[in-house]
Structure 1
Amino acid sequence: MRHVAVIGSGPAGYYTAEACQKIFGEEVRVDILDRLPVPYGLIRFGVAPDHQSIKAVSRRYEAVALSDNVRFVGNVCVGRDVTIGELQDLYDAVVLATGAPKDRPLEIPGGNLPGVVGSAEFVGWYNGHPEFAGLEPRLNGPGAVIVGNGNVALDVARILAKTQQEFAGSDIVAHALEQLNRSAIRHITILGRRGPHEIAMTPKELGELGHLERAAPRVDPVDLPEDGADALLEPGMRKSVGHLRDFAANPVAKPVIIEFDFFAMPVAIEGDGKVDRVIVERTVLDDQLRSHGTGERYSVDCSLVVSCIGYSTPPIEGVPYEHGRGRFASDEGRILPGLYCVGWARRGPTGTIGTNRPDGYMIAEKIAEDIGADSGKAGRPGLDALLAERGVEIVTFRDWQKIEQAEVLRAREGAPREKFIAIEEMIRAKG
């Protein structure tokens, strides 16, 4: 029997477990550990609450979790309840699938003023992550600035702009919905240091902005390249830029404006003890498409700044780490003998949810190459004995199903669930 421990129950973790099942068959036992009592990581806490179709992939992970040789072990924090070294002693392979849940800092003057939040915090707030449920973002002013030109920036803008009725069918948590309903924000500025051809926004997410009830996107035609230049783009990017061209050519008057400000980078955030404005500098691109400030500056008034400039993987004591790239140091996923990383913890925060599937299978194949026959390691029974000795109350997948059922029962009308936002509530709900 081979014993594999996967740290993290998001897409990368479950795809790795699925791959181990395919490769080893009945000769493997996989334990998926998570510091929270609930599974699915990015699916639960990262995907926008109004994108329920994307969240449906969790049903695939559920099938893996309910199989005989895979187990979810929730409410176990690696580093606090058990160390990496102890797991390596117990398992033939330990796979770090911890994702990249930490915001990259916005390193400009004023970047720590009240009212500046990272996208991991803001997204965690409206998705009910226990660490960020009490965030209370500053929605009391008419202006908000979003820094970044990726899909997360679009998610944040869309959530800020929607009416309460437009959240029907979503699983946005009640406290966020209530605060958004009272929001005074009427002008949302999306800052991008490069131009329309350099965005990392997909057509579907961009197109959604054109169908909001009370909000309309605005693009300055001056920022757009000549039409013929679009022919050099990949089809998906060409479609995305096409949406921007439509927004520029057909401006719509609505109470809330979502303004794309291209060739613009924040250089400072100012305010009297809180965010009042962002100082922005115009940029130009060189031949390598790198942005450079021109010296031309202006200010954008706002009470809220959401930084969507990327994520990093938190380091773990004793595990080699690339500080410059914010991920574990590895040779194509191999960190040390018996220790691996997968998904964003290996690649950095790139790719879609589906990108983690081939990544998981690649790591499982490396594990198969590296470990031999039955090593005699204790595996699951050894972990259970260690956690019991330390008084750690684990949450199984069956326990999670009870938590999920309780969330469904407490949902507002039309919503799929109302998430528990405190770990203690989750533990109580499992009975």
Structure 2
Amino acid sequence: MGRQDIDALMIDGRNAANLRGDPITGERYTSPEFMKREWDHMWTRIWHIAGRTAELEEAGDYVVHDFMNESVFCVKQEDGSIKAFYNSCRHRGMRLVWDASSQDSFQCPYHGWIWGKDGVLEKAQDPEDFPQGNPCGKLKLKELRCATWGGFVWYTMDDEAPELLDFLSPMPELYKNYPMDTGVRVFWMKIDLETNWKFATDNFSESYHTRTAHPQVPPWIDQDVDTARHEMWPGGHGRTVQPMRPSLSDRLPEGVQHPFDMILQAWDIDPESYPDFETKAMQGWLDLKAAKKRLWQERGYVHYENMDDEEITDSPHTVMFPNVTISFLPDNVILFRTEPHPTDPNKCTFDLWCMAFPVAGQTMVESIMAGPQPLHEAEFQHRAFDNGRGVPEIKDQIVYQDMMLAEGQQRGMHSRGYDDAYLSGQETRVRFFHEVLNDYLEGRR
């Protein structure tokens, strides 16, 4: 698919006339019955991320992905391919593995059956004692379709689902210039939240909340209403593309060092050379593009090699239906993912993966969502948010501010005072997400 084809399929993400107008009711967030419909008609039909390809370097390396009451593990094969299997012994259903690791075979802890990396049963106790015949070499773990994109390992439970690149389209084409598989995951945390999983997709489908929730953002990402591009595509994916320059509507108090000044100075641009704030914001942004294009190679920013002017200075914030958001920044890729609690629609987990592109000579990187981090693969952490007390490492970061709103939003969805969202034009993608979800639930997809 070329850029012309992508543009032809794109839907204006600010024009509510492109939507049916399906109401966004509170029960979508609070009802166990609605949660069950999501499992039956949507979660079992989409593609899920199991982990990073960087976790699967050698044959036998595997990652485990637990989703609601299901569990899948993906394991690297001798030929370099990756296979995905349900995490359940075919003998009597015992779970085989719990955490990512590496091994040549998988032994059931209950009766000792041994399964190979390829999922085929290698050994069973008393193999001749089966009326069906010796199962060794014949019986195989139930396999799922598995594919990779963006440095991520994906799988689907649906044999009839589209191919991964078709499911994600047009995102793989839009972001082909980012060397995503080279990103180093410098922060890796799963956080338990007291909210429905859809809170995050709603939140990341608009930036209308930014001035209220994230006052630190407008000085370096332009949040003005008519500045951003709002794009959405038939598969349910969408993005907001905003320039990484100061908003002209928001001014910092006199005497406060401006973050954009520091960005300009880092690329040998004098912020005092501009006659006024407006010129610095607009012309400085153009000068920054030129400086990065001129200096990237000598400074070791090798990931800029194929990136265009927009990609090296702007912020395309992308939601991939239904629950993965990737914030593409010039030097960082941030993944957010919410997944439902197995039984309670009022709870979910929130994954925060901060990935940085290596730059020659750098040992520390500035992660937009987690602050300064060492440039190496982070250890996994699992925390309860606990009104912010459980995650002091990210206190006052942008994503922390989002999570501080989550419980109040969920409680509001239980109220008789709420019956539908009253959306601005720039929030059109919020309703679009729910309409695509409805299409799954009603069998239209």
What is the TM-score when the length of structure 2 is the normalising length? 0.24
Q: Select the structure that is richer in strand.
A: 2
